[in-house]
């Protein structure tokens, strides 16, 4: 009798499982190839959703994961991310795997609506069909969240989606990633992750007044609209080009958010916290291999007149030096070499010497943390100095750092500091980047 009941229970469980799987099978989302069962597909989809950092934009503060509603400020107004849980009314519960792939590949919603490029479909178009199906299977396995989508708040005429037809002609090139036969499998895997799912060029390529970017400037760096952060060039070694870095230093920075060469803050901290720290060793290394080979753009080196040492006054240099000794040297050392990876070096640090001084000014004004990761579980924080330093103080100390110890950055002005002091701090993981809720060791600034 017990054997009979056990057999009956097994049959019932299998029948229920089949009833759950069959609708998904009809949608084409069950298998990643003929030999991969649903649970394997879902696990792979969860990993790929991490790579794509979907949670960062599709989860609002205090909201449920993937239910959308996060405000995304743009120069044209505010967009709100959509619900991508399997809710049939407000999410993607009635979508098929074909619908989902076409959305990623073409930048069009299920009903043909053109998507705004805050959704990085110009990168996601490179995603393979099997990876798209895996992500769709994962999203379909989540709890449906019955939460309506919020209407965008774009100014006229940007609220007219027909304008996107012209934008797409100028800036969108549809097409799945094609491996380069001149490179090995590891390099091509890195290229696929960086150019596609990772959508790194979305931030690390300058955005023009139309909200577009050109392929010839890909990864050349630029200001991130509305965020008051500068995404450094990944091709120019005097910014953040990684040609001179070791693969280990690049991998450590991507995975842990800190390495012997520096640490990530601002929007990149969120990318590491939400996404990159979860990647496999093989995928992180593949990305490092690819990034290290990005060709340096043909940009003229800085001239002696631009080096900064000839433009800073003796008064500013002396005042900046005194402030550095009082406020910064205890962590970053008097010689600017820091104590990496806890306290990044400032001497010979390309991020300190970039053409744009936005990032170092922001860090002195507002402080920040590298992300909390398994490789750096208790990151040391940079305290804010806005409350104890004037605009002139910050201009002098940042200028001092940018021209000392062999650095060749330009001095900064009081006006640059004041512009960033009054700029809003966007509290959004999709636009600000510091992981929410982190509280770790932070040295208090001394009162000058």
DSSP secondary structure letter of residue 435: P
Same domain as 192, residue 164: no
Q: Is residue 63 part of a domain?
A: yes
Q: What CATH number corresponds to the domain at position 384? A: 1.10.760.10
When divided into structural domains, the chain yields a total of: 2
3-state secondary structure of 12: helix
254 and 346 inside one domain = yes
- 149 and 199 share a domain? no
Instruction: Tally Cβ neighbours within 10 Å of residue 321.
Output: 17
* SS3 per-residue string spanning 269-327: HHHHHHCHHHCCHHHHHHHHHHHHCCCCCCCCCCCHHHCCCCCCCHHHHHHHHHHHHHH
Q: What proportions of the chain, in percent to the nearest 5, are helix, strand and coil?
A: 40, 10, 50
Lookup: tokens for 39: 């649970």
Residue 334 domain-assigned (yes or no): yes
Q: Looking at the structure, tell me whether residues 137 and 166 fall in a common domain.
A: yes
Residue 164 in any domain: the answer is yes
From first to last of its 448 residues, what are the pLDDT tens digits of the chain?
444 444 444 444 444 444 444 444 334 334 344 456 788 999 999 999 999 999 999 999 999 999 999 999 999 999 999 999 999 999 999 999 999 999 999 999 999 999 999 999 999 999 999 999 999 999 999 999 999 999 999 999 999 999 999 999 999 999 999 999 999 999 999 999 999 999 999 999 888 888 888 787 888 888 888 888 888 888 876 665 677 789 999 999 999 998 888 889 889 999 999 999 999 999 999 999 999 998 775 554 544 444 444 478 899 999 999 999 999 999 999 999 999 888 989 998 888 888 899 999 999 999 988 898 998 899 888 899 999 999 999 999 999 999 999 999 999 999 999 999 988 776 544 543 333 333 334 444 444 4
- pTM of the shown model: 0.82
**192 lies in the same domain as 162:** no
Strand positions, DSSP E, 102-190: 153-154
Do both 191 and 163 map to the same domain?
A: no
In this structure, the dihedral spanned by the alpha carbons of residues 81, 82, 84 and 87, taken in order and rounded to 10 degrees, is: 150
- The residue out of 171, 196, 227 marking a domain boundary is 171
Burial class (CB in 10 A: 0-12, 13-18, 19+), 186: middle
Same domain, residue pair 103 and 154: yes
Looking at the fold, whether 158 and 69 belong to one and the same domain comes out as yes
In-domain check, residue 77: yes
Q: Is residue 444 part of a domain?
A: no
Q: Which of 171, 206, 238 is the last residue of a domain?
A: 171
**Angstrom distance (rounded) from CA 202 to CA 20:** 38
Residue 202 counted as domain residue: yes
The reply to whether 276 falls in a domain is yes
Q: What number of CA atoms fall less than 13 Å from residue 337's CA on the CB side?
A: 1
Among the listed residues 281, 293, 233, the one whose alpha carbon sits nearest the alpha carbon of residue 254: 281
Alpha carbons 421 and 9: distance in angstroms, whole number = 66
Q: Are residues 60 and 116 in the same domain?
A: yes
Q: Are residues 90 and 218 in the same domain?
A: no
Please indicate, yes or no, whether residues 162 and 189 belong to a single structural domain of this protein.
no
CA neighbor of 368 nearest in space, from 255, 268, 256: 268
Q: Alpha-carbon dihedral of residues 120, 126, 131, 136, nearest 10 degrees?
A: 40
Give residue 167's domain range.
23-171
């Amino acid at each position: 009798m017990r054997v009979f009941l056990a057999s009956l229970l097994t049959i019932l469980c299998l029948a229920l499982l089949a009833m759950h799987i069959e609708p998904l099978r009809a949608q084409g989302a069950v298998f990643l190839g003929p030999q991969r069962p649903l649970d394997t597909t879902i696990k792979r989809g969860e990993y790929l959703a991490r790579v794509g950092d979907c949670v960062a934009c599709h989860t609002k503060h205090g909201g449920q994961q993937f239910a959308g509603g996060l405000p995304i400020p743009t120069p044209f107004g505010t967009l709100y991310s959509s619900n991508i849980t399997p809710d049939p009314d407000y999410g993607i519960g009635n979508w098929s795997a074909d619908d989902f792939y076409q959305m990623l590949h073409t930048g069009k919603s299920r009903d043909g609506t053109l998507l705004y490029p805050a959704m990085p479909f110009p990168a996601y178009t490179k995603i393979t069909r099997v990876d798209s199906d895996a992500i769709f299977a994962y999203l379909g396995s989540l709890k449906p969240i019955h939460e309506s989508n919020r209407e965008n708040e774009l100014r006229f005429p940007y609220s007219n989606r027909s304008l996107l037809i012209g934008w797409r002609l100028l800036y969108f090139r549809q097409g799945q990633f094609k491996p380069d036969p001149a490179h090995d499998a590891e390099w091509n895997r890195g290229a696929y992750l960086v150019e596609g799912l990772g959508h790194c060029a979305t931030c690390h390529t300058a955005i023009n007044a139309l909200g577009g970017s050109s392929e010839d400037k890909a990864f050349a760096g630029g200001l991130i609209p509305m965020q008051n952060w500068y995404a450094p060039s990944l091709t120019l070694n005097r910014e953040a080009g990684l040609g001179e870095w070791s693969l280990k230093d690049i991998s450590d920075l991507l995975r842990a958010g800190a390495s012997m060469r520096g640490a990530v803050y601002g929007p990149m901290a969120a990318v590491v916290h939400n996404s990159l720290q979860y990647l496999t060793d093989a995928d992180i290394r593949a990305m490092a291999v690819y990034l290290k080979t990005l060709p340096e753009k043909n940009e003229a080196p800085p001239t002696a007149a631009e080096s900064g040492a000839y433009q800073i006054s003796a008064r500013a240099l002396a005042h900046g030096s005194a402030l550095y000794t009082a406020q910064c040297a205890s962590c970053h050392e008097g010689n600017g070499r820091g104590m990496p990876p806890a306290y990044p070096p400032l001497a010979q640090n390309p991020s300190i010497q970039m053409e744009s001084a936005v990032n170092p000014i922001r860090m002195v004004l507002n402080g920040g943390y590298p992300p909390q990761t398994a490789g750096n579980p208790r990151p040391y924080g940079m305290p804010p100095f806005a409350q104890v330093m004037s605009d002139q103080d910050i201009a002098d100390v940042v200028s001092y750092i940018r021209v000392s110890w062999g650095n060749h950055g330009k001095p900064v002005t009081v006006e640059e500091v004041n512009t960033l002091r009054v700029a809003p701090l966007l509290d959004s993981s999709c636009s600000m980047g510091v992981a929410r809720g982190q509280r770790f060791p932070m040295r208090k600034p001394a009162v000058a």
